[in-house]
Amino acid sequence: MSSVELNKPVPDFEAPATGEQTVRLADLRGKNVVIYFYPKDNTPGCTTEGQDFRDRMKQFVELDTEIFGVSRDGLKAHENFRAKHEFPFHLISDKDETLCKLFDVIKLKKLYGKEHLGIERSTFLIDKEGVLQEEWRGVKVKGHADEVLEAVKTL
């Protein structure tokens, strides 16, 4: 499977999510979809990012937009993270990195001087027809949810 491209349809996918759901992109046609990839549950930046999307959820819903967070954490960790921070959206578990590869978010990163492969914080906006309209890579958390919200308003 090749990776996604701006202004092109996103290939259909399905993935396990919190709430005992399987998220299928095809089932979300007719709604805008925000998919944000983050490195790890319960870390400071990832928690803040989730809370920022949570705090703007009403505005996203008014714009007919679904939000999904994605990391390589398992469903049990996701359920705990979601409950602890009262996220009104679901978290997708991508342990096998299928979505990470589709969206090309696995990058070489440095932590304490050591290199490893990890998720580059990234967000993707898919329109109601399933076309990728915007992508943000190497995201800085502060102000990001507002930037995504503004982009949804232009669709």
- Which residues carry out catalysis? 46
75's tokens = 């469903």
Query: Is 49:64 a contact under the CB 8 Å cutoff?
Result: no
Helix (H, G, I), strand (E, B) or coil at 129: coil
β-pair type (65-71, 32-37): parallel
Closest Cα to residue 121, out of 47, 37, 51? 37
Strands (DSSP E) found in 51-145:
65-71, 90-93, 106-111, 114-119, 122-126, 132-137
User: Do 74 and 17 form a contact (C-beta atoms < 8 A)?
Assistant: no
